[in-house]
Amino acid sequence: MLMTTFDHPGVLLANRYQLQQQIGAGAMGMIFRAYDRLTSDTVALKRVIVGSSTYNTEELRFALLREFRTLASLRHPHIISVLDYGFDSLRQPFYTMPMIDQALDVVSFARDADFDVKLRVISQLLQALAYLHRRGVLHRDLKPMNVLVDEEGTLRVVDFGLAVITESSSKSLDDLTAGTLAYMAPELYKGERLSPQADLYAVGVIAYEIFAGRHPFNVRMVGALINDVMHKTPDLSLLPDAIRPLMYTLLAKTRGERMALGSALMVREAFYHAFGLPVPRETLAVRESYLQAAAFVGREEEMRQLTVALNDAMEGKGSAWLIGGESGVGKSRVVNELRTLALVNGALVAETQSITETSSPFRLWASILRRLCLSVEPSFFTDFAVAVMRAVVPDIDKLIGGGMGELPPIVPTAPTSEDDNELPSRLLSVMTELFRRQRTNGAPQPVVVIFEDLHWASRDSVTLLSAICRVVDDLPVMIVATYRDDETPELAARMTTMRHMRLPRLSKHGIAELSESILGAAGRAPKMVDMLERETEGNAFFLVEVIRALAEEAGDISNVGISDLPERVFTGGVQKMVERRLSLIPAQMGDLLQLAAVIGRQIDLPLLRAIEPNADVDAWVAVCSEANVIDIYEGEWRFAHDKLREGVLGSIAADRRAELHGRAAAALERLREVDVDERAALDNAALLAYHYQIAGDKEKERHYLAMACDEAGRRGAYRQARMFGERAMELANAAGSVSVLWLENLNAALGRVYAGIGEYAIARGYFDRQLTHARERDNLEGIASALGSIASIAWHMGGYQESWQYANDSAALFRALNNSAGVAWAVDTLSSVARWMGDYDLSRRYAEEALALHMQNGNPYGVSEAHHSLGVVAQMMGDNDRASAHFHESLRLMREIGTTPRSLHQLLNSLATVERTKGNYAEARRYYEESLTIARENDNQRMEANIQANLGKIALFEHQYAEARRRVEASLAIAQAIHYKRTVVFGNELSGTLALELGMIDDAERHYQEALTIALEIGERHVIAMLIKCLGDAAAARGDLSAAWGKYRDALGMLNEIKVKPLVYMVLIAMARTLVLSGDAQKIALADGIERLILSLPNLNAEIQSAAAQLREDMDMRGGVSAAVELESGDAGVNGLIADILAGRVGG
């Protein structure tokens, strides 16, 4: 066989398996020892080489499809398990198996062994063949090196090659070369088709070698070997007398003679009968192999729909499916069939399953991310992408090789967040890009993602899934999720982005097909089908359980249906079924079974060993696996069905359960200390809190809840962080005596959580308490941090003077502590406050300092944000070219290192504002539309509401009133539906301005008043002041200049108090327009003086300059100014004017 470049050790296969060394070869391929990057396990990988001349035929493609389906379903104690399978980049098939180290081939193991060992391994080999033949599989390459015995004496048949499905095979030896000549049946040399009797012939040769000590024919020369096989009778005198007749028939020259022996099970019985020994009863594991191998039936229409969807995904047209059905109806079988079909068609398959236990909010996504990381372009792994994924997959650096950057902390700093949860937003951005950039051999890689048991997923995981489903239409991605619709019927209503499919119970025809696949012809007997329908009503899980019970009663699965059937199998329904299965576990292993159940559906073997270091956990796994209480899923042990775990939990008394949870928690703590890097801190803390809660240890529950709150908050999982933190605080209040350090840290964590969701007043309370506790401990770092957090909250709430003071104090402390990252954070806030207070030079200097510090600290996220801040300052100063340069540098960095949709949205809005200020409305609209696309792809309704309002504002500037109304109404509809008050205020303000321009003064006042009412609830003072100014504009339009002046004066007083200079200037210009509207020459002269005073000020933004120009135009329309009023220039002049207005010395 020629070795290709893909066969050399070191080659990476399917982006997952690193070939290490060749350990075997045959006519159809090679076997390698390989390293699995995903699981870090060593596996045996079989590469099957299919000739190019026949590979493209439709017949062989279907044969491969059937073969892989069968290999994946084989579950027998004497047959090697197939762990994974698929096609490489050349579309050549491969599959992986567990690596059996230090194994011997069956002949080497048994040739010199005792008689009972010889008979036992031959019996096990025949049991394995019987199972394969019942499943319609021929081994085709049976020889000693493919029948291995491990160190414990367990036989396993390995290396099937591509066995041919008997029900459709018509291939001859010439067509399908395989096998080793020394073990090939005589008829195969004549070109006859393969059959079960060919496998039995190979068993005969192996048995001869075991009992006689040598091969029955001359194997030194191929010609002599072929002649002997075709014509020579082996020397039977070397065999025990008792089995000579049996061996003569097994080694017969024609298939017809061997057919007289019957099936492999009948040959097994013949060996025991020949020696005068009783045939051992069928072991539980062997019986389970038939039950687990039940055929897939009754889902033709469902599979037709899913197959069409898969074909569409392969062509780049993705879809998402939600499959519902009751427990046990067969949802897992459907997705297993889809998995096989997807792999055969060249798709990558990533799977995950929800669990009920408390854990990190996105644990469901961990295995998906891990799998997809192995097949993405290397350029995908920016610092940002890796840092985001690390929040869900802690060992991401090990998986992809090499450490990357850290995720920037999520802190309540400016600008205002548009999202109430950062981590989902970041994950959505990364996941979408991860799907887009899947590659195989340089071409786009179709992907199928399977979520099982979605009904147990966290709200965050489900929300993320729903958002991702929105963007798969134009991707080669198919998403399939299953859930129990009888327990969570409301889930379907939430998943509006998925197509729904419901699995009914099996029909009577389906019951008959399933029964026959397990029992053979007896399974189709009318009495059997009637009884199964009566007992199970078509639930597939119950049906298999009923047959299991019948097999136990009959002693052998082959005896089911021979004797009379009972009227009823279970009088207690599913509960009795579960109890019966669990009763197969010996009482002495009950403790481990209960521990496993309280830990969760996944079997945590390291934790079990830590809890019970003296227990034989491996033996427990073997017994539970043999009883089918646990099974393997994605390389991990789990309870085979949730009903089984529920059955164990239901049998545990409350005090006993508390004890078990306490033991689990204590062991988990020990593991955490030893192997903290392997387990996510959030998972650990949350799970420990969960275990200690049930154990009744409130002190430790509180301790770990606080840790979980802090970790979840730092990652942006605010909903779960709030739940953890509030419970921890509740326990602390009940306890009475808690350490000041603990309270300081928890208040800080809860402050960050409430700031993250926009509850600033509540956040302020927590940060104030953090500051109090930090001062109690004289903790300077804690004091500086609390001051910085309070500064940010005050900024958000419009308390600019207060924010300025706190940020200054925070910066001073951080400087004294030589904490440059803390200084950068504080001066970021100072820059924002200075900007809002109109001191643009100072704002720029702080932003430049922040930029320098972020560059010094190697923080590219901070550098990007600093450029954004500098851009906003330049924009406010009217330097649009400099603003645009900073914004584009920030955008370049964002695209290079990755960013969140929120950050990109804010930057695009800033770019749009620059263009809008220049009057480039088309370019501004382009930026807003791009941002709108991002919002919709990410299902971010807050962002969409804000953008619609901004698009409405552009339309208003262009006097496109119908478009402006449409956009603003769309914005308000979204904002009101999701209770997003800030944009409700913005939308009503725009609606008022639109109404005012159209002369609808009553409508304008109504909208302004609605906006003001909500703004008063939020508490943002500059917004309140500007809405009062808007009410003044409405009064002026009505001609009530006195009322207008009063509103303007109230607004001016508020804005002067909080020192927001740009808005102060806007109100002064509005007041000057009122003076012009009065028609009084002296007042017009004062207006002229106000206009000249404001234009003499430095760093005016474009909006102020435009308003001043409009004021000058109004004065000119009234004939100009007859006499000038000279006002003192600069800030002194402004302050004097404001003082006179507020004191009533200057009036309208």
Q: Is residue 636, in this structure, part of any structural domain at all?
A: yes
Tell me: the pLDDT tens digits for 593-631?
A: 999 999 988 888 889 999 999 998 888 887 887 777 887
484, 632: one domain: no
Is beta strand 636-639 parallel, antiparallel or unpaired with respect to 630-633? antiparallel
Is it the case that residue 169 has pLDDT exceeding 80? Answer: no
Q: Write out the DSSP string of 429-486.
A: HHHHHHHHTBEETTEE--EEEEEE-GGGS-HHHHHHHHHHHTT-TTTTEEEEEEEETT
Closest Cα partner for 678 from 397, 358, 285? 397
Q: Which domain holds residue 307?
A: 298-398+424-439+456-502
Q: Is residue 88, in this structure, part of any structural domain at all?
A: yes
Please report, for the domain that includes residue 251, its CATH number.
Answer: 1.10.510.10
Domain end position, chosen among 652, 675, 696: 652
Tell me: the pLDDT tens digits for 2-36?
A: 444 445 666 778 778 889 988 877 656 788 999 98
Q: Is residue 604, in this structure, part of any structural domain at all?
A: yes
Cα dist from 36 to 3, 40, 280, 368, whole Å: 22, 5, 39, 16
3-state secondary structure of 36: strand
Q: Could you tell me which residues are beta bridge partners of residue 444?
A: 439
Is it the case that residue 387 has pLDDT exceeding 70? Answer: yes
465, 601: one domain: no
Reported confidence tier of residue 196, pLDDT bands at 50, 70, 90: very high
92, 113: one domain: no
Is it the case that residue 847 has pLDDT exceeding 90? Answer: yes
Contacts of 466 (CB under 8 A, 6+ apart): 494, 495, 496, 497, 498, 939
Rounded-to-integer distance, Cα 793 and Cα 765, Å = 10
129, 264: one domain: yes
The dihedral of CA 899, 900, 905, 910: what is its sign?
A: negative
Token output for 257: 């003679």
354, 487: one domain: yes
Tell me: the pLDDT tens digits for 729-775?
A: 999 999 888 899 999 999 999 999 998 877 888 999 999 999 999 99
Is it the case that residue 172 has pLDDT exceeding 60? Answer: no
3-state secondary structure of 607: helix
- What's the mean pLDDT in 88-107? 82
Q: Is residue 972, in this structure, part of any structural domain at all?
A: no
3-state secondary structure of 697: coil
Domain end position, chosen among 599, 624, 652: 652
Q: Is residue 525, in this structure, part of any structural domain at all?
A: yes
- What's the mean pLDDT in 1070-1098? 91
228, 308: one domain: no
Tell me the range of 381-385, 906-910, 937-941 where mean pLDDT is highest.
906-910
165, 119: one domain: yes
Q: Is residue 153, in this structure, part of any structural domain at all?
A: yes
> How much is the pLDDT for 795?
83
Q: Could you tell me which residues are beta bridge partners of residue 94?
A: 47, 86
Question: Residue 571 carries which DSSP code?
Answer: S
646, 791: one domain: no
Contacts of 740 (CB under 8 A, 6+ apart): 773, 776, 777
Domain end position, chosen among 255, 281, 307: 281
Q: Is residue 533, in this structure, part of any structural domain at all?
A: yes
Rounded-to-integer distance, Cα 177 and Cα 162, Å = 11
pTM: 0.65
Cα dist from 8 to 2, 22, 30, 97, 1103, whole Å: 11, 8, 11, 19, 68
Question: Residue 79 carries which DSSP code?
Answer: B
Closest Cα partner for 406 from 398, 397, 415, 416? 397
Rounded-to-integer distance, Cα 1006 and Cα 983, Å = 17
584, 620: one domain: yes
170, 52: one domain: no
350, 429: one domain: yes
Cα dist from 625 to 25, 78, 351, 622, 1148, whole Å: 32, 14, 22, 5, 89
822, 837: one domain: yes
Rounded-to-integer distance, Cα 321 and Cα 481, Å = 6
Residues identified as active-site:
141
Please report, for the domain that includes residue 781, its CATH number.
Answer: 1.25.40.10
Please report, for the domain that includes residue 315, its CATH number.
Answer: 3.40.50
Token output for 422: 């950062």
- Rounded to a whole number, what is the distance in angstroms from the first to the last CA of the chain? 100
Task: Give how many domains the chain has, as a whole number.
Answer: 6
Tell me: the pLDDT tens digits for 108-159?
A: 999 999 999 999 999 999 999 988 887 778 888 899 989 999 888 889 998 7
Query: CB–CB of 777/740 below 8 Å?
Result: yes
Least confident of 455-459, 540-544, 910-914: 540-544
Tell me: the pLDDT tens digits for 963-983?
A: 999 999 999 999 898 887 888
Query: CB–CB of 524/512 below 8 Å?
Result: yes
Please report, for the domain that includes residue 593, its CATH number.
Answer: 1.10.10
Least confident of 604-608, 898-902, 934-938: 898-902
Reported confidence tier of residue 1121, pLDDT bands at 50, 70, 90: confident
> How much is the pLDDT for 358?
53
Instruction: Match 């406050």 to its residue by tokens.
Output: 833
CA dihedral angle for residue 940, residue 942, residue 946, residue 951, rounded to 10 degrees: 40
Beta strands in 120-167 (DSSP E): 147-149, 155-157
Is it the case that residue 282 has pLDDT exceeding 80? Answer: no
Q: Is residue 709, in this structure, part of any structural domain at all?
A: no
